[in-house]
Copies of this chain bind each other. A is one copy, B any other.
Amino acid sequence: MNTYGERFRVTTYGESHGPAVGAVIDGCPAGVRLDMDLIARQLERRRFGAPRQEADEVEWLSGLMDGITLGTPIAFAIRNKDVRSEDYAHLEHLFRPGHADYTYYAKFGVRDHRGGGRSSARETVVRVVAGAIASQLMPEVGISTRAVGSQNPADDDTCGGMVDCTITGLPAGIGDPVFAKLNASLAAAMMSIPSAIGFEMGAGFAAAQMKGSEYIDRWKVDDGGCRTATNHCGGVQGGISNGMPVEFRVAFHPVVSIPQPVECLGEDGSLSTVGIGGRHDRYHIERAAVVVEAMAALCLINYMI
């Protein structure tokens, strides 16, 4: 299931070392002039500091005439150009620790060993394009992120970190009861990002240690309308926004492609120590933040159109 969303449906495709990555966006309203600069800026932010240098040029295949959406599917492709598949030749029959090599093989019985294939963070470039289009459809909504809690990676190691996201301008009443709660959908959207390992709304895990009387967000009525004095719930109650900023945090584990040699598992069950090569980040949180913004936009737009 490579489709995200029920109304603004983004179906993505592409392996990291195949011809291209891209998507078909179905459900985008007609008559919208796409802000290509916004898309380019987000792609630039995502690309910043990446060891693999891709131009990330978006080739538009359908759904636009003179840059304006037709209401039909918007298809695009981004070519994989800076591909060095030979870097991975020695890994054809090996499963790297910490990667998805083994699990893809267990599921599919076949895999693209060149880079991470479909599990590579390369696929997030597509999310960034789609998210930028979605955010353009909600000009009143502001989505901002901040990298927190990261360490400096040592020379021979990698590190993780966290991203705080704040969504402003969302009116009260956005979300759904029971299964499609806004917080549940945000959780799924964020946990689908490569390396994501934790998610919390508002006070999050700290709320588990609070007393009810501490936790409850008290009403505070003033000229600004109905608000609450605190925002422990993160702006969502019963799965529906309450008009306060929506606030959540995503934890990312460290980059699993570490510079040191590691022991890999062979398809034959043997272990062998190899340097896994390829070109990888050692610190990815600033770049992950851009993907957090994209997924937040894709999540929200499905409630709003």
Give bound CA distance, A61 to B80, whole Å: 10
Give the copy number: 4
Are the CB atoms of A103 and B13 closer together than 8 Å? Answer: no
Give bound CA distance, A166 to B206, whole Å: 22
The verdict on A108 contacting B211 (CB below 8 Å), with A19-B62, A219-B264, A237-B103 known, is: no
Are the CB atoms of A251 and B97 closer together than 8 Å? Answer: no
Are the CB atoms of B26 and A11 closer together than 8 Å? Answer: yes
CB neighbours (8 Å) of A63 from chain B are 13, 15, 18
Q: Is A125 an interface residue (CB 8 A)?
A: no
Are the CB atoms of A110 and B68 closer together than 8 Å? Answer: yes
Give bound CA distance, A77 to B98, whole Å: 35
CB neighbours (8 Å) of A59 from chain B are 19
Are the CB atoms of B106 and A159 closer together than 8 Å? Answer: no
CB neighbours (8 Å) of A181 from chain B are 191-192
Give bound CA distance, A62 to B160, whole Å: 30
Q: Is A198 an interface residue (CB 8 A)?
A: yes
Given contacts A106-B172, A212-B257, 17 further A-B contacts (CB under 8 A): A15-B65, A18-B64, A22-B61, A71-B110, A103-B236, A107-B172, A119-B238, A157-B213, A158-B213, A159-B210, A180-B192, A183-B191, A191-B199, A197-B202, A215-B254, A218-B262, A219-B264
Of all A-B residue pairs in the complex, the 3 with the closest CB atoms, nearest first, are: A100-B238, A158-B212, A106-B173
Q: Which residue of B lies closest to A260 (CB)?
A: B213
Are the CB atoms of A19 and B60 closer together than 8 Å? Answer: yes
Interface size counted on chain A using CB atoms at 8 A: 146
Q: Which residue of B lies closest to A238 (CB)?
A: B100
Are the CB atoms of B178 and A123 closer together than 8 Å? Answer: yes
| Of A47-55, A133-141, A226-234, the one touching chain B | A226-234
Q: Would you give the 0/1 interface string for A244-277, flagging 1 where the beta carbon is closer than 8 Å to chain B?
A: 0000000111111110101111000111000000
Q: How far is the CB of A170 from chain B (nearest CB, A)?
A: 11
Give bound CA distance, A199 to B198, whole Å: 6
Are the CB atoms of A18 and B215 closer together than 8 Å? Answer: no
Give bound CA distance, A159 to B211, whole Å: 5
Partner of A188, one of B1, B15, B173, B184: B184
Are the CB atoms of B253 and A158 closer together than 8 Å? Answer: no
Q: How far is the CB of A298 from chain B (nearest CB, A)?
A: 9
Q: Is A58 an interface residue (CB 8 A)?
A: no
Q: Which residue of B lies closest to A211 (CB)?
A: B157
Q: Is A203 an interface residue (CB 8 A)?
A: yes
The verdict on A70 contacting B117 (CB below 8 Å), with A9-B3, A240-B100, A254-B210 known, is: yes
Give bound CA distance, A260 to B213, whole Å: 8
Are the CB atoms of A201 and B210 closer together than 8 Å? Answer: no
Q: Is A187 an interface residue (CB 8 A)?
A: yes
The verdict on A240 contacting B104 (CB below 8 Å), with A62-B15, A112-B70, A253-B210 known, is: yes
